[in-house]
């Protein structure tokens, strides 16, 4: 799911997003609450009409901001008090308020309010936060009224395998139409994330969608699907595009590199996106060098289309019974340099310790 934090996917129009093959996008409850306000969006017919998107929309609950805006918050069993990162005004967010905002936005999928915890908290705090997430999930379910909106629960549990499984079991018993898996890929090593993910998905019903929140790099998508995940979201595709990084089947390509200066080929041979159909790497390199925003659009379109095609290919491989071969071949050819891994880990750390905006 491409991310439209403020009701728009960065640098591209709704029609361009649709052309990449995306059928659902994500909006941010916390940021839309602050600007322009859920009441205003409701008066204008809901988020679909407001942003002119006729596909599906998933809204997060604001729970990640409980984590990412740590220095501005106070967490209690009943509510979370924030200081707005914009003007310092106090905001009180409860499970009921989160549901109210998402119902006003009119998203197709709403998420329960949860507490996402840092990867380095001790077991006692992780246990308390996870139990609080469960209580908040029950309150969200009781408050939810819109029959045309699916409410997903969110599993937590920190970096504790037994707690992960227990959280998934508890949420599964509440019988939500789908389940988010939160609190992963926030600083832990990838191998550890994959291990913990298995404990979550093992306890969730296979007949309902399982959504790994905040994960979007190709190698994580294929490993997530291998562990039973159906849905993903992340700002990665649009964020790295703005820095000149492009997804390809063999790894990321930096279009700013001198090697692209005279390359008349497309970003990716065989890609059917608007950027690859009509423009060369040399042209894209030029646009970045002169800081022309059209270059950001083309790179974003390609990255979003790459991920959409990638998901289609995985789905087809599952149907054909060849997914393990697909996974093995992809991981053998796709490489991230150590510098890219460090950059991605640093970006996630910054996002989790500053305001969670797509900057």
Of 351 and 13, the one with more pLDDT: 13
d(CA 259, CA 138): 55
**Structure confidence at residue 70 as a pLDDT band (50, 70, 90):** low
Which ranges in the chain belong to alpha helices (H)?
14-19, 29-34, 38-43, 47-51, 63-68, 95-105, 123-143, 161-173, 190-202, 218-226, 236-242, 274-278, 281-289, 293-320, 323-333, 338-353
**Structure confidence at residue 347 as a pLDDT band (50, 70, 90):** low
Which positions are annotated as active-site residues? 60, 233
Max CA pair span of the chain: 60
d(CA 266, CA 279): 6
Q: What would the pLDDT profile of 108-123 be if each residue is shown by its tens digit?
A: 999 999 999 888 999 9
d(CA 333, CA 315): 19
**Which one-letter DSSP state was computed for residue 80?**
E
Contact partners, residue 276, CB within 8 Å, separation at least 6: 266, 267, 268, 302
DSSP 213-270: TT---HHHHHHHHHTT--EE--SHHHHHHHTTEEEETTEEEETTSGGGTT--S-SSTT
**Which one-letter DSSP state was computed for residue 119?**
T
Strand-pairing partners, residue 285, are none
Q: What would the pLDDT profile of 143-195 be if each residue is shown by its tens digit?
A: 999 999 999 999 999 999 999 999 999 999 999 999 999 999 998 999 999 99
Residue 296 has pLDDT above 80, yes or no: yes
Residue 62, pLDDT score: 87
| Residue for token pair 């305001």 | 355
């Amino acid at each position: 799911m491409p991310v439209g934090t403020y009701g728009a996917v960065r640098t591209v129009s709704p029609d361009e997003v649709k052309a990449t093959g995306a059928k659902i996008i994500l909006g941010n409850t916390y940021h839309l609450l602050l600007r322009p306000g859920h009441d205003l969006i409701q008066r204008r017919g809901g988020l679909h009409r407001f942003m002119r998107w006729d596909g599906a929309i998933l809204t997060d609950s604001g729970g990640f901001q409980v984590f990412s805006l740590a220095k501005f918050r106070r967490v209690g069993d009943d509510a979370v008090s924030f200081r707005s990162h914009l003007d310092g005004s106090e905001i009180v967010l409860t499970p009921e308020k989160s549901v109210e905002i998402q119902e006003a936005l009119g998203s197709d999928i709403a998420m329960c309010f949860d507490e996402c915890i840092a990867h380095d908290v001790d077991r006692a705090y992780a246990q308390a936060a996870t139990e609080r997430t469960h209580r908040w999930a029950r309150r969200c379910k009781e408050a939810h009224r819109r029959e045309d909106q699916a409410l997903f629960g969110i599993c937590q549990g920190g970096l504790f395998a037994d707690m992960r499984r227990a959280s998934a079991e508890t949420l599964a018993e509440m019988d939500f139409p789908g389940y988010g898996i939160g609190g992963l890929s926030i600083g832990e090593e990838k191998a550890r994330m994959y291990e913990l993910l298995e404990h979550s998905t093992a306890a969730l019903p296979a007949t309902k969608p399982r959504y790994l929140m905040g994960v979007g790099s190709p190698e994580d998508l294929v490993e997530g699907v291998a562990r039973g995940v159906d849905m993903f979201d992340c700002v990665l595709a649009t964020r790295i595009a703005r820095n000149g990084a492009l997804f390809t089947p063999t790894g990321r390509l930096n279009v700013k590199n001198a090697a692209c200066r005279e390359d008349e080929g497309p970003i990716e041979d065989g890609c059917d996106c608007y950027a690859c159909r009509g423009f060369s790497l040399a042209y894209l390199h030029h646009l970045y060098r002169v800081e022309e925003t059209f270059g950001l659009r083309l790179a974003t379109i390609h990255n979003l289309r790459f991920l959409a095609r990638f998901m289609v290919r995985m789905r087809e491989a599952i149907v054909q019974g060849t997914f393990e071969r697909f996974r093995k071949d992809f991981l053998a050819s796709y490489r991230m340099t150590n510098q890219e891994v460090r950059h991605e880990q640093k970006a996630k750390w910054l996002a989790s310790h500053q305001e969670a905006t797509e900057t």
